[in-house]
Amino acid sequence: MNGIQDAVAIVTGASSGIGRAAAVRFAAEGASVVAADVGVEGGEETVATIEEAGGEATFVETDVSDADDVAAMVDEAVERYGGLDVAFNNAGIEGENDPTADQPADNWERVIDVNLKGVFLGMQAEIPAMLDDGGGAIINTSSIAGEVGFPGLSPYVASKHGVIGLTKTAALEYSGEGVRVNAICPGVIRTPMVDRSAEDDPEMIEQVSAATPIGRIGEPEEIGDAAVWLCSDDASFVTGEAMVIDGGYVSQ
């Protein structure tokens, strides 16, 4: 894809699922990847996968809800690879499943801290580095839960609606300065996050597949590839967009 070869790309949540698939694809396209995550073992596996395929990556242990960690993540990209062109702010947690009135306050705080504040802190650190480096592209991971409600998941749904608002606002602020900002809204994707939900509800994947026009859930590569495309020059006129990638689920 145009513009990804030789780019410096940060991917958060790169130790697993969608983030790992995107990190692998960014590297396959020729980017140098900073793989950031709280999960050290998974992050090292992602880097090893990239290196075995001949790509370039480094792991940085990062809690995206911690401003110092996030600043250090961006510093690492700039110091190691000489700048920052692309950031995929993707780390997220699903949190507890309870009706709104029963949601524990600490679950609200944790989900908002990681999913929403994490994206905000990421953009605060990434945008100045991109402006110093002639511009760039940011993708923030929202969800179809950023478009519609899901019973039992009020903190998650609020966080993912918030990610779309942050994305549109940053796009208005920085697109004229050469930083495009977009969100992706995946449907149900086969990752460890969904495997955890399926443990409590074994028929979930089958039911979602049946309710999805394409007739199945998605694969992490189908989201990672879209994120890479949105960051590439092939998407040079796309900004402020929340791209739904869900096999048609929310179009019904």
The answer to the question of residue 93 lying near ligand NAI (CB under 6 A) is: yes
Asked if residue 3 binds ligand NAI (CB under 6 A), the reply is no
The contact pattern for ligand NAI, residues 211-250, with x = CB under 6 A and - = no contact, is ----------------------------------------
- Asked if 186 touches ligand NAI (CB under 6 A), the answer is yes
Interhelix angle 67-81/118-132, rounded to 10 degrees, is 30
Applying CB under 6 A, among 57, 59, 63, 239 the residue interacting with ligand NAI is 63
* 96 lies in the binding site for ligand NAI (CB under 6 A): no
To ligand NAI, the closest distance from the beta carbon of 173 in angstroms equals 22
Identify whether 174 is a catalytic site residue.
Answer: no
76 binds ligand NAI (CB under 6 A): no
Q: Which of 81, 156, 174, 249 is catalytic?
A: 156
> Any contact of residue 141 with ligand NAI (CB under 6 A)?
yes
Report the residue number, 46 or 232, with the smaller CB distance to ligand NAI.
46
Nearer of residues 4 and 93 to ligand NAI, judged by Cβ: 93
How many chain residues touch ligand NAI (CB under 6 A)?
29
